[in-house]
Amino acid sequence: PPNTSVSVGSTFAVTVEIGNVVDLYAWQFDFGYDPTFLSAFGVLNGTFLGTGGAESFFPGNIDNTVGSITAVGSLLTSALTGVSGSGTLATITFTALSIGQSSLSAFNIILLDSNFVDITATSSRAIVTISPATAGVPEPATVYLLSTALLYFTIAGRLRRGRQTPA
């Protein structure tokens, strides 16, 4: 995944991508992160392997105590050959818990071709930087509505003062 920046309390997704693979029939990986800063809550299947036919997807086991997701994987079930090219294997969804940085990494990677022979894999780490939550800037429609209401009350107050007759 690429490096990314998010705010405390935000929810964001990280995709695990594969590039320039030939004859991918099955894959599996574990994923690590720092649970001090991030909490994982979902793993969804990517679209890449399914382009080759029906597949069985395993979302793995999330452990937010140690910061890992184990045994995420997928296997083609109806194809005779694997898929070649580049694409998304899985999408992992996180919540940012506190200010700081966490590395994100896939490890224990297993890639198999249609003969169940290992495909060599390398992976790269990414860093997610979590910054303080910022106060939201009002939307233009909200500013317009508040300005209109303020103008209305200002005009109404002046008109009311103009109608009052001195005693």
138, burial (CB in 10 Å: exposed 0-12, middle 13-18, buried 19+): exposed
pLDDT, tens only, 100-140: 999 999 999 999 999 999 999 989 889 999 999 875 555 45
pTM over 0.75, yes/no? yes
Distance CA 17, CA 47 (A): 10
Going by C-alpha positions, the residue among 30, 29, 40 that lies closest to residue 92 is: 40
Looking at residues 48-65, what average pLDDT do you find?
97
Banded model confidence at residue 163, pLDDT cuts 50, 70, 90: low
Q: How far is CA 153 from CA 98, 156, 167, in A?
A: 43, 5, 25
pLDDT, tens only, 17-50: 999 999 999 999 999 999 999 999 999 999 999 9
Going by C-alpha positions, the residue among 150, 74, 160, 67 that lies closest to residue 111 is: 74
Distance CA 148, CA 162 (A): 21
pLDDT, tens only, 69-94: 999 999 999 888 999 999 999 999 99
pLDDT at 144: 47
